[in-house]
Structure 1
Amino acid sequence: MSRAFGDVAEAYHRLRSVIPYAALDWLVPHPCHRAVELGAGTGIQTHRLTRYADEVLAVEPDAKMRAAFTVDGVKLLAGTAEDIPVEDGTADLVVAFESWHWFAQPAATREVARVLRPGGTLAVAWNLPDIHDDWTAEFWSPVTGAHDETRRPGRLILSATEPFATPQYRVLRWTWRRHVDDLVALLGTYSRVIALDPLERQEFLDHQRSLVPADIVDARFTTICWRTVYKGA
């Protein structure tokens, strides 16, 4: 299913929210000479990451997403979290923005450990809608609905046998003023909506639009951040 995002690459790039700088300040180690971003997509998060690392390698499996990648000065690599095309022990940071829950485990975690130098950081983060009343609960249901616990957005689950320190956790809350049209279009970039057939998708989005109480709304979001240090083999 993660490959289906390429079918909405333009909308994904235009509408998806970026991870706040306050989150990156906490997630990225200092100094950071080489950062590897997994599931980099169109580069909407990569642009900010370049402010923190001397070198950024962006890894993305979907050819359509790579075709829409827009960040200059970044080496874009075809690859997956389970087969990262980066040399052993060369990264100060491996980061996944809004993508960790798609990766096959424990293969991805083992690949991250291979790529990181001892003392390097694994960081993951998601922007998730903040549910605070009835309309937001129903509107965002495709994003916040039931997930398998090991594949739930916002969770970092590591086996006790993995060579990482106990993960640290931080939450940031913020608002994003959006027109209802953009909010509905944003909803259309999530996997459960992409998976609907075209007629069903349009009917669903029309219904979701009717839930929004105003043309302009201050949408509340929560950024969930995890970081952990690779202890070495």
Structure 2
Amino acid sequence: MSTERATSFGAEAANYEAGRPDYPFEAVAWMLEPMPHGSRRIADVGAGTGKLTRVLAQAPDAEVVAVDPDATMLETLRLSVPGVPTFQGTAERMPLPDASLDAVVLGQAWHWVQPAAASAELGRVVRTGGVLGLIWNIRDERVEWVRRLTDIMHSSPAENMVNGPGSDGPRIEAPFTHVEKQQWEWTRPMSRTKLHQMALSRSYLITAPADEREEITRQMDDLFDELGLEGESTIDLPYVTHAFRAVRA
């Protein structure tokens, strides 16, 4: 796994916030269902600009903290989700005490971690009976133009892990058990500008040479011209949200 790609997102924090979708509330609620009754201490790890954090903050009586290795992403998060405490750290090195949380969730992030080390470290900070939740928004490539868009932009490590050919999904290890999966289908209206922002927030483009970025942008514009996507007009971009949950033994 490329460390350069994994830590590249701060360079495009504004495009990440504008171009990436939020998470369906019902998917996030499903991840948190096994939490012990009345418990609401939750850490969003790999929180980025706060896409998942803001949904977590809607849960009744939730006490949410955000953890990310990138200071620029956390700066954007503090603007988009005011009042949530933030900490620099990773799933493998959590800046929190033992057994201090009822749940840890990672949105669009587990494909960047070392599964064994992350499972052990998150097991340290989550109480017995607490929850590990993993969630991804993946474009639905059963739609032909979406499949063509991915061919232009290149697939991501997330797409390959969660929905790639022969994939068994994310690897979750002890002390977490009883892994369950659920998914939700939905659409997001996207303009040409938003689609470009989404692409520019992807690690492949962030770390690509300038000439390759320009060529990808040109090919995307050719596709959008073909789709008749002009000005402020939008097209529905279909997504499948894949959510996983496991319980700390």
Same fold (TM over 0.5): yes
Are 1:224 and 2:234 an aligned pair? no
Q: CA deviation at 1:90?
A: 1.4
Of 179, 182, 194, which aligns to 1:167? Answer: 179
Q: Which runs of 5+ in 1 are unaligned?
A: none
Distance 1:126 1:148, change over 3 A: closer
Distance 1:169 1:143, change over 3 A: farther
SS of the equivalent of 1:86 reads coil
Equivalent residue for 2:96? 86
SS of the equivalent of 1:89 reads coil
Equivalent residue for 1:37? 44
Q: What TM-score, normalized to structure 1?
A: 0.90
Distance 1:144 1:21, change over 3 A: farther
Q: Match for 2:161: what amino acid? A: R
Equivalent residue for 1:181? 193
Query: Is the contact between residue 100 and residue 153 of structure 1 (CA under 8 Å) also seen in structure 2?
Result: no
Q: CA deviation at 1:114?
A: 0.4
The whole-number CA distance in structure 2 between the counterparts of 1:143 and 1:115 is 37
Query: Is the contact between residue 9 and residue 42 of structure 1 (CA under 8 Å) also seen in structure 2?
Result: yes
Matches within 5 A, 1:108-147: 108-141=118-151, 145=155, 147=157
Instruction: Output one character per residue of 1:152-208: Cα deviation in whole Å (capped at 9) or x when no partner.
Output: 24622124xx12222110010001111122112211211111121123202212202
Q: Match for 2:151: what amino acid? A: S
Equivalent residue for 2:202? 190
Matches within 5 A, 1:40-59: 40-52=47-59, 54-59=62-67
Q: Match for 1:43: what amino acid? A: G
Q: Match for 1:105: what amino acid? A: P
Equivalent residue for 1:67? 75
Query: Is the contact between residue 142 and residue 192 of structure 1 (CA under 8 Å) also seen in structure 2?
Result: no
Query: RMSD of the TM alignment (CA)?
Result: 2.0
The whole-number CA distance in structure 1 between the counterparts of 2:248 and 2:176 is 5
Are 1:5 and 2:9 an aligned pair? yes
Equivalent residue for 2:161? 152
The whole-number CA distance in structure 2 between the counterparts of 1:66 and 1:214 is 37
Instruction: Output one character per residue of 1:44-79: Cα deviation in whole Å (capped at 9) or x when no partner.
Output: 221111112521111010121122222122110011
Q: What TM-score, normalized to structure 2?
A: 0.85
Distance 1:144 1:123, change over 3 A: farther
Q: Match for 1:73: what amino acid? A: G
Question: How many percent identity over aligned positions?
Answer: 30
The whole-number CA distance in structure 2 between the counterparts of 1:206 and 1:106 is 41
Distance 1:203 1:144, change over 3 A: closer
* Structure with the larger helix share: 2
SS of the equivalent of 2:127 reads strand
Consecutive aligned runs of 4 or more in structure 1 exceeding 6 Å deviation: none
Are 1:17 and 2:21 an aligned pair? yes
Which deviates the most, 112-121 or 71-80?
A: 71-80
The whole-number CA distance in structure 2 between the counterparts of 1:179 and 1:101 is 28
Q: Match for 1:61: what amino acid? A: P
Equivalent residue for 2:116? 106
Instruction: Output one character per residue of 1:82-120: Cα deviation in whole Å (capped at 9) or x when no partner.
Output: 100111111111000000110123111101100110000
Query: Is the contact between residue 44 and residue 53 of structure 2 (CA under 8 Å) also seen in structure 1?
Result: yes
